Amino acid sequence: MEKAKILIIEDEAAIADLLEYGLITEGYLVKIAHTGTEGLKAIELFKPDLLLLDWMLPDINGLDICKRVTADYNIPIMMITAKSDITDKILGLEFGADDYITKPFDLREVFARIRTILRRVAQANRSGDDTEEAIIRFKEIEIHRNDRVVHKNGEVVELTPKEFDLLIMLYQYRGKIFTRTELLDSVWGYDYFGDTRTVDTHIQRLRKKLDISDQIITVFSIGYKFQKQVDS
């Protein structure tokens, strides 16, 4: 089995070295970048399976890196930062982070969350290999599950990894009403620590990007569902 590759973008050498040592001990391949610029170059060359990203870097804000990575790559991101306010956590997730852990941290918790993220990615990849509905079509939309690409009217629509996963989850269980908490647990893959506004934000973006307000329905005081009868 190939070892998972983890890129650490962290300017504090002591923290980066601690993470590197622990992750190598856990059996991962690890690379460190101490600036955002180095990190973006390392993504191209190292091709990591997971990114551990500090928020406050000397050159590029971690949120800006998060936004760029989610736009250009399908790499899960765990933000590790001293910013512990709930507003900061929500902001990090809305910029595309898959998880968010605050300093000081316990390495055991970091490792557990990494395993959860990588396990969820592996499960998604296995389900994407199924021939059944490898390509989903409705309205003017075409979803390529294996490549995680969405087209509308023949043009690529850029979705973040979480927007894509949320779309697949809702479509796969058309007609089922999901609470916001259920969507967080299923798509984000861990117990959420704050309110559920991030789900509303992702739903709004999906509706706007794909023009599917008539497909993703708000169920008052409960959550959301995808119309059981999909418009062709």
Give 169-192 pLDDT, tens digit per residue: 899 889 999 998 888 877 876 554
Residue 22 contacts residue 46 (beta carbons within 8 Å): no
Which pLDDT tens digit goes with each residue over 140-180?
999 998 888 899 998 999 888 888 889 998 998 899 999 98
Given this model, what pLDDT does residue 115 score?
Answer: 87
- 131-226, CATH topology level: Arc Repressor Mutant, subunit A (1.10.10)
- 5-127, CATH topology level: Rossmann fold (3.40.50)
Q: At what angle do helices 86-94 and 197-210 cross, to 10 degrees?
A: 20
Does pLDDT of 129 surpass 90? Answer: no
User: Structure pTM?
Assistant: 0.64
Q: CA–CA separation, 93 vs 198, rounded Å?
A: 7
Taking Cα atoms as reference points, which of 163, 165, 151, 157 lies closest to residue 202? 163
**Domain map (residue ranges) of the chain:** 5-127, 131-226
DSSP track, 164-190 = HHHHHHHHHTTT--EEHHHHIIIII-S
Mean pLDDT of the chain: 85
Residue 70 contacts residue 161 (beta carbons within 8 Å): yes
**Res. 127 pLDDT band, cuts 50 70 90:** low
